[in-house]
Structure 1
Amino acid sequence: MNSSFVGALCSGSIVCLLLAVLSPSALASTQELCPTTNGVLDFTWEETGVVVGYAVGHGILTYETRQYPVDIRGGGILTFGHAVMKATACVENLERLRELAGTYWSVGGGASVDNGSFIADMENERGIDLHVRGHMKGPMISGQIARFSVRFGPGTIPDF
């Protein structure tokens, strides 16, 4: 996982994490977020939690000139509330498209009374990194360590 990101969050402090999430500069355009990545994953998910949270969603991975549907499921601890989130993830270290699928561990968080922002860094067992930035709608606060599964949609599993 990108240690500079975690270090920038005051060594994992939830207070510093939430300050970073709530700052106006936490979100930027896709071009600003992903200038040198292997791909871009745009997705929507819905998360609900009382201490332990669960999320489910779907999205589109843009890789080179093609698009691939993906499904996302998972959850983590330290989540309170319910929100719908729309996000963009910059994909790094992707040498083969099929390496995107797998289990990702993440650290991140967000806060929202009605509308808010969140950030997270995720890494799978193959070293693929997802740097996620997004917006949330609904009452929620989370500063979580989580595990998510990313899978290609039915009939779209790439063989390269």
Structure 2
Amino acid sequence: MGQQTAKLCFSLHDAALAGGYSWGKGRLYYGTHSYPVKVKGGGAVGFGYSKLKGDGKVYNLARLSDINGTYWSVRAEATMGRGRNVVVMDNNKAVDIKASMHTNGAHLAAAVMRLTLHVDPGGERPDTMPTTCSFPIR
């Protein structure tokens, strides 16, 4: 994967009744600044609802705009109460994200997942990369 170039802290809602849909927000820590990120997407074959809190290591991010795009991964989740999973996602600009997620809810899913990330450069603020993500995302 190379060397970590940024960090993505995010929270998602994931709902599924056969097909699934995910939506949420996050904060990208890149260089000496952070930026708000919107996340949306979905997958197939699932049932239930869960909330996810993720801590993602971002690799190969050369320009801020390269974070934008659609990320693909294979994901399986079986949460009853609380759970945890790891997912590796990549986009067509060679940006890779390895995310560790904590889940809460009742959700069973197995899917090829597609998530779209979009950074808002207008929400930029001076910031340092945290060691661990804190929630809620601000």
State the TM bucket, normalised to the shorter chain: 0.7 to 0.9
- State how many pairs are aligned: 123
TM-score norm. by structure 1 comes to: 0.72
Across the aligned residues of Structure 1 and Structure 2, the Cα RMSD in angstroms comes to: 1.6
Kindly state the Cα deviation for residue 154 of structure 1 after the two structures are TM-superposed.
6.8
Please state if 1:47 is matched with 2:14.
yes
Unaligned runs of 5+ in 2: 125-138
The match for 1:116 is 83
Matches within 5 A, 1:42-121: 42-121=9-88
Structure 1 CA distance, aligned partners of 2:108 and 2:83?
A: 9
4+ residue segments displaced more than 4 Å = none
Structure 2 CA distance, aligned partners of 1:45 and 1:141?
A: 16
Contact 1:45–1:56 (CA under 8 A) maintained in structure 2: yes
Structure 2 CA distance, aligned partners of 1:83 and 1:153?
A: 26
Match of 1:131 among 98, 112, 115: 98
Structure 2 CA distance, aligned partners of 1:69 and 1:116?
A: 26
Quick one: percent identity of the two aligned structures? Answer: 32
Structure 1 or 2: larger helix share? 1
Please state if 1:150 is matched with 2:93.
no
Look up the equivalent residue of 1:42 and give its one-letter code: C
TM-score norm. by structure 2 comes to: 0.83
Structure 1 CA distance, aligned partners of 2:93 and 2:27?
A: 20
Q: Which has the higher contact order (CA 8 A, sep 6+)?
A: 2
